[in-house]
Chains A and B, each alone.
Chain A
């Protein structure tokens, strides 16, 4: 297994050698210097970046008030959400220690789905499993945060309505009941 395949291990588990080779062919590799910005919060993004070496910082907030929320180390990745569903990035990602990364674009994903449907099923399941885990953890965190802030009695219709409003708008592409 070469350096690139090692970096992608969490993503390509279950793919055949040929599928891995063809997938690697679809990725772009970059050597990045300290402080280079690869994703900018709020800007349209359609790539994920998989770390082969070095370290990335994930930051949220405006430039003058940025807070680091995570570090990404070799074998990890960022941008999976916008690669699957292109749109504005929810964080800024900057190189912390000079890094080698593989860029996996939305277009490359669609090409891989078209050319290797069996491999794409495995790849998408690996991605979905990881995102579903993140979703469950984030959802639990939202609940805990609200639980900490509020002590609710048993919910009724008024509460349900208020909680829905307090939780903000429905996800894009989803509509709230009127």
Chain B
């Protein structure tokens, strides 16, 4: 499957269903295809992107491991494996600033990337497309927040069963 085929396949995904055909065609022109080899670091937390801006990443093929490690001693990793059709880079794209998580290619990865600079241009030149992208971003952020709230509620109210803890955990 080529990058363009993979890009076309996004059209069938729920997050892109509000795009009409013409808008989706312009979306395909607005993004750039980027490839990363297995193990390659895509973004590092706190390290600004090369152009100083932000970028929305859409996984077209392969898997991207997103993780945040909060302390060099305790290193509690929060990892999420993202596959085709999923979006990354949303928090820094929406709020500005450097990436808030590390991302690394697991296997060979192909991404569609929309830079903040390009998105800002679209707001002036193609508001219909910018609004469609904006709706995708807002909807995915909402979905991620709902999932994160659920995790926090589980952590706060249910706790973790002591017997489930693996041997490497020290208390």
Contact = CB atoms under 8 A, between A and B. Distances in A.
A6 interface: no
B143 A121 contact: no
B1 to A, nearest CB: 18
A175 B165 CA distance: 24
B41 interface: no
A127 B138 contact: yes
Contacts of A139: 68, 78, 148
B123 A118 contact: yes
A128 B131 CA distance: 12
Nearest to A65: B157
Contacts of A135: 91, 141, 144-145, 148
Interface residues of B, number: 64
Interface in A138-154: 138-139, 141-147, 149-154
The secondary structure that dominates the B interface is helix
B130 A173 contact: no
Contact of B127 (A81, A117, A168, A170): A117
Given A110-B18, A125-B94, A147-B74, A141 B130 contact: no
Interface string B134-156: 11011111111111111111111
Nearest to A80: B142
Interface in B70-115: 70-71, 74-83, 86, 90-91, 94-95, 100, 106
A115 to B, nearest CB: 10
A14 to B, nearest CB: 11
B155 A152 contact: no
A172 B15 CA distance: 12
B61 interface: no
A138 B148 contact: yes
Contacts of A143: 68, 70, 76, 78
Contacts of B77: 152, 155, 159-160, 163
B147 A172 contact: yes
B83 A175 contact: yes
Which of A90, A117, A131, A177 counts the most B-chain CB atoms under 10 A from its CB?
A: A131
